[in-house]
């Protein structure tokens, strides 16, 4: 059985973070492990509190995982402060982690900053460059490149700019572009567009977490990067089309739709 590790924050309502990742990995018939970076008090209506784990404890979790059940892929989500970021980067380098998918949770899709600037700088300098793939949404890509992204041409220019300081593959998620919903994969100068299907479903809580953990699962299965992204996008599409409707706000996905559940 393939093993996938998620390094992220906990969502007590189960729609995003560690919980979404574990559901996604399990839906891909793989063994899920987790290193929790923070506890959050949140639900479909918002985030009401965050309690960071200490960097040393995050490091201890990673020691326990890598020294016993070595993961075939790693997904990184919410990492709240620079000490935790530094610890994660050091441990992943120490254990020669492979197939790392980093979702840079810096800015929400609504445009709110979720990370202090010093932590963001450490993320860009130490953690993102060791990833196999980073998956910024449009606001995050704008932070990384330093200019607005409105169309496909802007996406290409942004990827070129980001790649100069973060020399890894980049998937810019284009769900909020003006002219399309397509995603751009930039990989060492090669460009691949993934056609995006707009689905009429307001319940999108945890889509970024789910996509990145699905990509990691596909990499663990041995698919190449482009195939892993396409397979993950197909999975997300199915989870959205299942039209699960829970909570009073933007609800979660049906992560196990392919099993005929719910």
d(C-alpha 60, C-alpha 38), whole Å: 14
Catalytic residue among 208, 210, 233, 251: 208
Catalytic residue among 59, 206, 233, 251: 206
Comparing CA positions, the residue from 7, 27, 3 lying closest to residue 253 is 27
Tell me, yes or no, if 155 is annotated catalytic. Answer: no
Catalytic residue among 173, 174, 210, 233: 173
Tell me, yes or no, if 204 is annotated catalytic. Answer: yes
Tell me, yes or no, if 173 is annotated catalytic. Answer: yes
Tell me, yes or no, if 209 is annotated catalytic. Answer: yes
Catalytic residue among 59, 207, 210, 251: 207
Q: Any idea of the CA torsion for 195, 7, 225, 244, to the nearest 10 degrees? A: -30
d(C-alpha 101, C-alpha 156), whole Å: 20
Q: Any idea of the CA torsion for 61, 82, 155, 181, to the nearest 10 degrees? A: 50
- 177 touches 151 (CB < 8 A): yes
d(C-alpha 20, C-alpha 217), whole Å: 13
User: Would you give the distance in Å from CA 140 to the centre of its chain?
Assistant: 12
Q: Reduced to 3 states, what is the DSSP secondary structure of residue 113?
A: strand
Query: Taking the CA of residue 9 as centre, how many other CA atoms within 13 Å lie in the half-sphere pointing to its CB?
Result: 27
Catalytic residue among 204, 210, 233, 251: 204
Catalytic residue among 6, 82, 209, 210: 209
In sequence order, what DSSP letters do the residues of 51-85 get, joined into one string? EEPPHHHHHHHHHHHHTTS--SEEEE----SHHHH
Active site residues: 173, 204, 206-209
């Amino acid at each position: 059985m393939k093993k996938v590790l998620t390094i992220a924050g906990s969502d007590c309502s189960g729609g995003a973070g560690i919980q979404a990742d574990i559901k996604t990995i399990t839906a891909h018939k793989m063994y899920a492990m987790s290193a929790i970076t923070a506890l959050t008090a949140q639900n479909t209506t918002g985030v009401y509190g965050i309690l960071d784990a200490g960097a040393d404890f995050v490091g201890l979790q990673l020691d326990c995982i890598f020294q016993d059940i070595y993961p075939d892929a790693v997904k990184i989500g919410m990492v709240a402060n620079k000490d935790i970021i530094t610890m994660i980067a050091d441990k992943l380098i120490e254990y020669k982690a492979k197939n790392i998918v980093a979702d840079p949770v810096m800015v929400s899709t609504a445009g709110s900053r979720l990370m202090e600037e010093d932590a963001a700088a450490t993320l860009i300098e130490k953690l993102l460059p060791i990833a196999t793939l980073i998956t910024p949404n449009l606001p995050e890509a704008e932070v990384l490149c330093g200019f607005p992204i409105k169309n496909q041409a802007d996406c290409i220019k942004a990827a070129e700019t980001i790649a100069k300081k973060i020399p890894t593959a980049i998937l810019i998620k284009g769900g909020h572009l003006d002219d399309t919903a397509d995603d751009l994969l930039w990989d060492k100068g090669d460009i691949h567009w993934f056609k995006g299907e707009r689905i009429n479903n307001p319940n999108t809580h945890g889509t970024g977490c789910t996509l990145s953990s699905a990509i990691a699962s596909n990499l663990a299965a041995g698919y190449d990067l482009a195939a892993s992204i396409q397979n993950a996008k197909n999975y997300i599409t199915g989870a959205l089309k299942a039209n699960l409707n829970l909570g009073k706000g933007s609800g979660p996905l049906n992560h196990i739709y392919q099993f005929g559940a719910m």
